[in-house]
Amino acid sequence: MSEAEAQVPEVDPQVSAARKAGRAKWLKRLAIVLVLAGLAWGAWYLLVARHHVSTDNAYVNAQMAQVTPLVAGSAVEVLVKDTQQVKAGDVLVRLDQANASIAVAQAEADLAAARRKFGQVVATNSALSAQIDTSSAGLVQAQARLRMAEADFDKARVDLRRREAVAGSGAVSGDEVTQARRAYAAASAALDAARGGISEVASARRVAQGQLAANDALVRGSSVETDPAVRAAQARLGAALLDLERTEIRAPVAGVVSRLQVQVGQRLNPGQTIMTIVPLEKLYVDANFKEGQLGRVRPGMAVTLTSDLYGGDVVYHGKVTGIAGGTGSSMAVIPAQNATGNWIKTVQRLPVRIELDPAELREHPLRVGLSMDVEIDVSSE
């Protein structure tokens, strides 16, 4: 036996067997633990996990209201600041009202003039009716004068013929014949004048009737409040009053003022964005799920959410309200072009809109853009 072999201690067979038995016992225990863990995981997956899909690619969003003036004017008073909480209808900015007030005064004057004109047309109708009645009476008198003129003309003509017939015999003098001729000419002129008088009276009557018909067409079936000209003036007054009211820019919704972009003295134009109001009680979450997770997701399913702002101690509850019509890449300004030979498949994400509980939002307010962890219960359909 060599010196090295002589120095190696001998292993007790009983100790070696005990070690092997202990190692086998621990391996058996580890196997049991692993089996139990696998069974627990399998049970958890079958009972819970397979009925839920989750993502941390989710962000708070809102239908933010863009505040824009509806009339042009200079800002004379700015009543809010950034981050200020406002209610719907609160006055945010006041514009100079000078021009709007002048327009209201002009519209009021136009309305008064329209009402007065309607009254004048009604009065003119009465005057024209009286004029027609007078013309009718004048026509009767003119006809009577015509008959008298015809009788005088016939008498003068007969007298002239008689005197001309005996003038050669010397029974009448030349002066009598001359006077008879003058009387005949005067009677003829009077007859023509009487006939012209009838034409004149009849023409004046027709003119009055035409004017009455024209005026009557303007006011027939109308009152001072239903007259078209009066109603047009009322509409102009209403528009002027509306423009005056719009010189006070009010909050369209309740929320927090953000991105304030107006100062006192600034000239504002219609459609110019001067601030944004974020409605904190009407926030929602856009959760971007992988395409493989959405096979069983349907609108109306229950959702639980947590925010990094409050941590896992605050849990929000909501429901799925809809799934976007396209992926984020397809809706981008410059969509991805995959028609190349170097194409590599990328898992796409589809936005899912989730409505939050307003009561929970009031208790724990969120802000637009915050991250959320989202879990959808796909068994809640």
> SS3 for 223?
coil
Q: Which CATH number fits domain 100-242: 3.30.1140, 3.40.390, 1.10.287, 2.40.50?
A: 1.10.287
Residue 335 one-letter amino acid: P
Tell me the mean pLDDT in the region 275-284: 92
Give which of 211, 229, 271, 209 is closest to 246, Cα–Cα: 271
CB 221 within 8 A of CB 46: no
Average pLDDT score over residue span 34-58:
74
Higher-pLDDT residue of 147 and 64 is: 64
Contact 296, 302 (CB under 8 A): no
CATH topology of domain 65-97+247-278: OB fold (Dihydrolipoamide Acetyltransferase, E2P) (2.40.50)
H/E run at residue 305: strand 302-307
Percent share of the chain, pLDDT over 90:
41
What are the sequence ranges of the domains in the chain?
65-97+247-278, 100-242
pLDDT tens, residue by residue, 157-183 = 777 777 767 666 666 666 776 777 787
Q: Crossing angle, helix 228-245 and helix 98-166, to 10 degrees?
A: 160
Tokens found for residue 348: 């796409």
Whether the predicted model's global pTM rises above the 0.75 cut: no
Comparison of pLDDT for 224 and 257, the residue scoring more: 257
Residue written as token pair 């796409």: 348
Q: Which has more confidence, 197 or 372? A: 372
Residue 1 has pLDDT above 50, yes or no: no
Contact 159, 183 (CB under 8 A): yes
**What is the chain's Cα-based Rg?**
53
